Copies of this chain bind each other. A is one copy, B any other.
Amino acid sequence: MEASRLFAARGFHGTSTRDIAAAVGIRQPTLYSHFPSKHAILAALLDADLRPALARVRAALDLDGSPAARLHALLVADVSAILSLPYDVRGFYNDEVLELLELDEQARLREELHDLTTRLIGLGVESGEFLAEDPSFARGAITGLTLQAVSDRGPDPSPDPAHTALRIADFVVRALLADRRRLGPVQKASAALVPAVASAAE
């Protein structure tokens, strides 16, 4: 069912159930023997994106290591995972679709994801490893950079997600670190953490 990447390209409202059905090779009413409604299709896609992401940030918070290294590893794992998805998460978070509809649970998941990410950044600020930047702002910056990466790659999965993921992680950590000389060690420590974070999403 993941072929419903049309949501991403044209947005939730811009994609009809007939479009989706045609993309998966069935007729429109047949969709309703798999999902009770159009919203449910979006909810399933959102879940497939949010739940692994939540598992990753939880893992990053539980691991040992400096906050910068853990954030770097989380970013690498997150961006790699999102760029590998067969669909494109852009359209999911653009509209106020999340707020307006009966997607309460997905909105809650996203909020929790944001909270935990903000907390990890906050650890870095408290320890002095990061500049005294507002953790919420930094979290927003990460969201923006990640969505942009998905936009840039287009509708198909990226051939080399790890490359882009590293670039984004480096960019963010470089902007946040109080002492840039720590970038090298952070990258090194991150590389060791990435597998643990990535595998947290089953």
- Measured CB to CB, the residues of A under 8 A from B are 9-14, 90-91, 94-97, 100, 133-134, 137, 140-141, 143-149, 151-152, 167-168, 171-172, 174-175, 180
A172 to chain B: closest residue by CB: B175
In the complex, chain B residues whose CB is within 8 Å of the CB of A14: 11-14, 95, 97
In the complex, chain B residues whose CB is within 8 Å of the CB of A133: 167, 171
Apart from A10-B96, A144-B151, 5 more pairs, CB < 8 Å: A94-B94, A94-B95, A140-B148, A140-B151, A171-B175
CB distance from A121 to the nearest CB of B (A): 13
- Contact, CB under 8 Å: A143 / B137: no
Can you spell out 10 A-B residue pairs with CB atoms less than 8 angstroms apart?
A9-B96, A10-B100, A91-B95, A133-B167, A137-B167, A140-B148, A140-B149, A141-B145, A141-B171, A174-B175
Partner among B13, B137, B148 whose Cβ is within 8 Å of the Cβ of A11: B13
A104–B140 alpha-carbon span in the complex (Å)? 31
A180 to chain B: closest residue by CB: B180
A175 to chain B: closest residue by CB: B175
In the complex, chain B residues whose CB is within 8 Å of the CB of A172: 175
Q: Which 5 A-B residue pairs are closest in the complex by CB-CB distance?
A: A144-B148, A13-B14, A175-B175, A144-B144, A13-B13
A131 to chain B: closest residue by CB: B174
A150 to chain B: closest residue by CB: B144
Most buried by B among A146, A148, A149: A148
A94–B13 alpha-carbon span in the complex (Å)? 13
A134–B167 alpha-carbon span in the complex (Å)? 10
A14–B96 alpha-carbon span in the complex (Å)? 10
In the complex, chain B residues whose CB is within 8 Å of the CB of A91: 94-95
